[in-house]
Amino acid sequence: MIRKIFQIVLWLAAGAYAVVGVLAITGALGSAREADSLRHAYIVFGSMILIIGATAAFVTFLANKWVGFLFVAPLILCLGLPVGFFGAFWIDMEKGEVHRRQMEEEVRSGRYAFGDQPALLAVAQAISANDQDAIRAAAKAVPDLQAPGRDGTTLLCWAVRETWQRPQLVEAVRTLLSLGANPNYTNGHRESFAMGNAVHGSARLLQSMLDSGGDPNARDEFGRPIILMNWYLGYYPNDQRARLNLLLDRGADINSTMPESESEFAGYTLLLYRTRMGLDDSRAYADALHLLERGADPNRVAGDGMNFSKMLTEHREHFTTGRGAPAEFSPLWEWAQTHGITR
């Protein structure tokens, strides 16, 4: 009697595995139909569970001939536990990836920022397609190109940010600017600081903004001069010097200073800020020399008492006691000595 009851339990367990496997394979479970990658994950997971269930059922059937199979079947069913944990983990990770891709598409298409405003959305979708004629046509239905979408997002700021990964959209930004989008406009929300975001894009983008009246002394949403943010993000690293020169040529203050409210680098001038980066990026020393040659004041003192002479000396001591100084440091040190900045 006990043997029969045990066999029935094994049959039921194997059947449950088979049902779960079939449901997973057919896409009847949860979000299996959300994306192809999720569907494939469910098929693989379901197939493994179905195979385990079918194998356990077959072994349970063989127990009629040899009782030892009653001990083998539970072991086979136990394999479903790690498979289940692995499958749940894999599917959960894939769900996260699917949702990430969906959100990315929402942002890239403009639906996230402008989905509840059809007129703005039409312009955003034309921008995303980089269709200049469509942008002009859609913009006719928008009385104010500075009108905000979700979280205060403006069309120009959104387009500028999109160029970070899609440089071809610089043409769309130019079209927006030609239609009257104001490069200096901000409504106070971080998603409206078009000039603050332009300094992270390509040199072509920044030049387009400046050519349309963009302020080279503009500040970002945290009140920091945008020229100090030239190196802040990793987009277009080869354009860093070109962006710097563009801003300086258009009148940016070469002695721009980090706000005192900053928790780090408070009161640091552009020269100090860039020189400080030299320990991590040797190109910063070449930029510091470039700033000095263009007239940066080496005598400014930051809020923490740091000045150019002290910083340069500390860096030299670091290189003397540790690794050797990079090639870019020597010309900067020689300039400082020649001009009596260091002794």
- Total Cβ atoms within 10 A of residue 218: 21
The string of DSSP letters for 58-89 reads: HHHHHTTT-TTHHHHHHHHHHTHHHHHHHHHH
How far CA 280 is from CA of 1, 35, 124, in Å, comes to: 76, 42, 39
Which pLDDT score is estimated for 303? 86
How far apart CA 157 and CA 205 sit, in angstroms, is 12
Which pLDDT score is estimated for 7? 65
Which pLDDT score is estimated for 324? 83
CB-CB contact of 213 with 184 (8 Å) = yes
Terminal C-alpha separation, the chain: 99
Q: Record the pTM.
A: 0.76
What is the CATH code of the structural domain delimited by 110-253?
Answer: 1.25.40.20
CB-CB contact of 264 with 230 (8 Å) = no
Q: Which of helix, strand or coil describes residue 313?
A: helix
How far apart CA 219 and CA 318 sit, in angstroms, is 33
CB-CB contact of 208 with 170 (8 Å) = yes
Residue 221 sits at the vertex; the CA angle it makes with 218 and 222, to the nearest 5 degrees, is: 100
Token pair 């997971």 in the structure block, residue? 45
**Within the chain, which residues score under 70 in pLDDT?**
1-4, 6-8, 10-11, 21, 27-35, 60, 63-71, 73, 77, 80-81, 84-85, 87, 90-91, 98-99, 322, 343
Give the helix ranges, DSSP H, for 117-202: 118-128, 132-139, 155-162, 170-178, 194-198
pLDDT (tens digit, 9 = 90+) per residue, 9-68? 766 777 777 777 677 777 666 565 566 777 777 787 778 877 877 887 777 677 666 666
How far apart CA 228 and CA 258 sit, in angstroms, is 8
pLDDT (tens digit, 9 = 90+) per residue, 125-140? 999 999 999 999 999 9
Provide the residue ranges of all domains of the chain, joining segments of one domain with +.
2-105, 110-253, 254-343
CB-CB contact of 175 with 156 (8 Å) = no
118-128 vs 155-162: helix crossing angle, rounded to 10: 20
Token pair 């072991």 in the structure block, residue? 75
